[in-house]
Structure 1
């Protein structure tokens, strides 16, 4: 992951990151954000989003928006790499990715519990109950597959 904007140039209203997901890469445990919206724009490949108990495959050109409170995760289940841009409004959650980088740099494994521990510092919690909440709202090309 590469942080393109950490919020320092946007008054902390917006952060943007680019992620490259290797083939067969699992994402974070399914989770909910309490204080920020998250957007994903797929640049190449296919990313599988799980929202509650439903899976949606997003291909290049698809924009997926996830509102606060929506249970979600993502993964690359394909044989090809996938690249996506992620937005965080406000920028609170971008520090989570730096925390994960510190875990790896320290030689510790990136376990589901390490992910959950880092999430908890940024108004985010695991979503194991799939409680009703607003659904992810796709926009842009190819988004009809996620509706």
Structure 2
């Protein structure tokens, strides 16, 4: 029989990278998914990147999240949803003036391990360090973040 996982409102694992709070990571879901809540600060999104096996899914709670998937650029507001399949270059950012809060689900799970590794790095890692960590977790940076476009 499966066990229920309960994570209360102020519980979860916080990470410096992306100001993310993992409610559960792959280690707690048998690798099925990661579920995290992010407060995306103004112009703080990740570089354009590709996941080899993971779907990257977003549900906006507040603010406007700008998402790039391939050549498409979309703005998502509260209640909007987007999912990016594996192999598609994508990124996201808060390009507006208001705070953005978003639920992010990664399937399959395990991407929380990338965040754990990131915590061990200096606050300004080299490009080689970033690429190495991404590669260990089935992803790779392929371009600049939206703020640099």
**TM-score, normalised with respect to structure 2:** 0.74
RMSD over aligned CA atoms reads: 1.8
Q: Contact (CA 8 Å) 2:26, 2:34: kept in 1 or not? A: yes
Instruction: Establish whether residue 124 from structure 1 lines up as the match of residue 102 from structure 2.
Output: no
Could you tell me how far 1:15 is from its partner in structure 2?
1.2
Please tell me whether residue 4 in structure 1 is matched to residue 23 in structure 2: yes
Aligned to 2:46: 28
**Structure-2 change in CA distance of 1:56 and 1:112 (3 Å):** farther
Listed as ranges, the gaps of 5+ residues in structure 1 are: 129-147
Contact kept? 2:59, 2:104, Cα under 8 Å = yes
Query: Structure 1 pair 29/114, CA: closer, same or farther in 2 (3 Å)?
Result: farther
Alignment partners' CA distance in 2, 1:60 and 1:19: 14
Deviations 1:60-114 (A, max 9, x none): 11111111101100011011110111111111212112222332xxx43156554
Unaligned runs of 5+ in 2: 1-19, 144-149
| Mapped pair 1:81 → 2:99 | yes
* 2:117 matches 1:99: yes
The alignment status of 1:45 with 2:60, answered yes or no, reads: no
**TM-score where L is the length of structure 1:** 0.75
Conserved 8 A contact 2:114-2:137 = yes
Within 2, Cα distance between the matches of 1:95 and 1:43?
25
Aligned residues: 124
